[in-house]
Chain A
Amino acid sequence: MQKKTKLFLAFFLLVVFAKTGLAQTFTKNISLSFSVEPVFTIQVASIEGGQDLNFGDLSTTGKGAIITRSLEVSIISNTGTPYKVIQQSARPATNEKGEALPEDSIKFHLLPSRDTKGRLEITSATNVTGEQVIFSSGPDGASDKFTIVYELKSPGLLNAGDYLTSLTLTAR
């Protein structure tokens, strides 16, 4: 064989052995995924139980007596959008005859929970009236919790009846 042919053969064998000695590998990529749906909800619960605030029988309390009831408010949000909580009172508490409690009979203020992150807008006793912004979330719109304390100051002698009103709490 010619020198060139021998060289070529040697190089060929080198390539073959080198290839044979290599560890073979094969790779495959997999993507794992899931989606979380948006959640934006508000929950209220009376600390005394249920969703109603019942101040009880005022006929047994003297004028000026203060009765307190509390609501725990939870906002669950994963949207990342800042929000506010608004309290709406359509009318003062009235009995079956339409007789109303004095407007300043019911006042409220907010207390932080252990892990409140947003801003409480009303922290001193304030009349319950109309539409009031009571809470503002942080810029990240995180889930939050706080407590609303309602104080009923007994106005003294009242006409008999069940005095009712309704409050709406909205997060938006």
Chain B
Amino acid sequence: MRKTRIFITLFVLFITACFSGAGFAQALRLETTMIEGGFDEMDFGNIRLVKDDGELNRVSLTRRMRVQVFNSSGEKYQVIQRVTSAFMSQRGTSLSSDILKFYVSGARKSGIMDPMSLTPVNTGDKVIYTSDNSGSEDTFFIDYFLSLSNILETGRYQMNVTFILTQR
């Protein structure tokens, strides 16, 4: 009977250890909120590139996103911005990465933000936030600036950005 109890206890501990991945997800987590509304989509809206008088309409639009990092592990972490492609139309036309720039601001803790001045959103990985050594939870903002000064084909343009929160 005693052996059976020990076996059951160990079995329960084993199962807990095996499925503790769900616990990790809660220990290190990131939430995004668009200041203009929504959580996962940043829409710059409908853009008219020509004024009523026929002149080219140079467009500059800004959207802000709040990033909240939750971390109960006590470990240092980084937030990486991963971009796999620039804005692309439904017809497959890819735009220059220069039309979208960004910067990071407003961290409340002692983390390091980068970049803190306007920088093109290039493809690849970019570390945008590094926490302090104790992995303090933090909130910061990312401002995205869209600038259009040429006539683009009509339609919808889209790109995806992945934020990777990882322990160091």
Q: What is the interface of chain A, defined by CB distance below 8 A to chain B?
A: 1-2, 5, 8-9, 11-12, 15-16, 19, 23-39, 41, 43, 74, 76, 78-80, 143
B154 touches A28 (CB 8 A): no
Q: Which of B43, B48, B100 contacts A39 (CB 8 A)?
A: B48
Q: State the Cβ distance, A51 to closest chain B Cβ, in Å.
A: 12
Q: Please provide the 6 A-B residue pairs with the shortest distance between their CB atoms, ordered closest to farther.
A: A34-B44, A38-B154, A26-B165, A25-B166, A33-B158, A43-B54
For the A-B complex, the count of residue pairs with Cβ-Cβ distances under 8 Å equals: 150
B contacts with A: majority SS: strand
What residues of B have a CB within 8 angstroms of the CB of A9 in the complex?
10
What residues of B have a CB within 8 angstroms of the CB of A39 in the complex?
48-50, 151, 154
Beyond A26-B25, A32-B42, A143-B151, 17 additional contacts (C-beta under 8 Å) are A5-B7, A8-B14, A15-B18, A19-B21, A23-B168, A24-B73, A29-B163, A31-B40, A31-B159, A32-B43, A33-B41, A33-B159, A34-B43, A37-B49, A78-B153, A80-B91, A80-B154
Q: Which of A24, A27, A31, A36 contacts B152 (CB 8 A)?
A: A36
- B40-69 CB mask vs A (1 if < 8 Å, else 0) is 111111111110001000000100010000
What CA separation (Å) do A64 and B50 show in the bound complex?
43
State the interface size on chain B (CB cutoff 8 A): 59
A28 touches B54 (CB 8 A): no
What residues of A have a CB within 8 angstroms of the CB of B43 in the complex?
32-34
Q: A26-B25, A28-B163 are in contact. Are A34 and B146 (CB under 8 A)?
A: yes
B161 touches A30 (CB 8 A): yes
Tell me if B110 counts as interface (CB < 8 A to partner A): no
What residues of A have a CB within 8 angstroms of the CB of B75 in the complex?
24
